[in-house]
Structure 1
Amino acid sequence: MFVILVYDVNVKRVAKVLKVARRYLSWVQNSVLEGELTEASFRALQADMERIINQREDSLLFYVLGSQKYARRELMGVRKGGEEWIF
């Protein structure tokens, strides 16, 4: 599955969330990561994030696509991170 993670967390937890997320996904730009994951890896990522975030303050959005083949990314403006999609 192809996963896009978008996060909005308290500044105290940003570095920790990014560090853990980068174990699973590739950084694209501020607060956005993406990549191919197995179901088990996706569940592990979610479990790791649950231990870090504050459910009353922070927000994580996971966009889960069956495959990258059915997704298209278009950039407008400055490239911030992962220029190539992960295969």
Structure 2
Amino acid sequence: MVYDVAVERVVKVLKVGRRYLTWVQNSVLEGELSPAQYARLKAEVRKIIEPSDAVRFYLFPNRDSLRIETIGSTKNEPDQFI
């Protein structure tokens, strides 16, 4: 999940996201969710954001399709991915 929201909503979106995912960088969270968890996360985020905000979810069909390369430091290393 990647988000770009107004300053007054950043903390709220981050708190919701961290209930489901691992925070890995500013405005970036990663993790693996069940379909029900994903639906709940989206519903909770929709209640917070405004039309001018943007939240993106990157979905991978399987773990073999995921490859992450990091240059520099990392905040957290998630155990699971979406």
* Length-normalised TM-score, structure 1: 0.86
**Shift of residue 84, structure 1, vs aligned partner:** 4.1
- Structure having the higher helix fraction is 2
Which of 19, 38, 43 is 1:42 aligned to? 38
Q: Which residue of 2 aligns with 1:16?
A: 12
Q: Which runs of 5+ in 2 are unaligned?
A: none
Displaced runs of 4 or more, over 4 A: none
How many equivalent residue pairs? 81
- Structure having the higher strand fraction is 1
Over the aligned positions, Cα root-mean-square deviation in angstroms equals: 1.3
Give % identity: 49
Matched, 1:69 2:68: no
Q: Which runs of 5+ in 1 are unaligned?
A: none
* Length-normalised TM-score, structure 2: 0.91
Q: Which residue of 2 aligns with 1:7?
A: 3
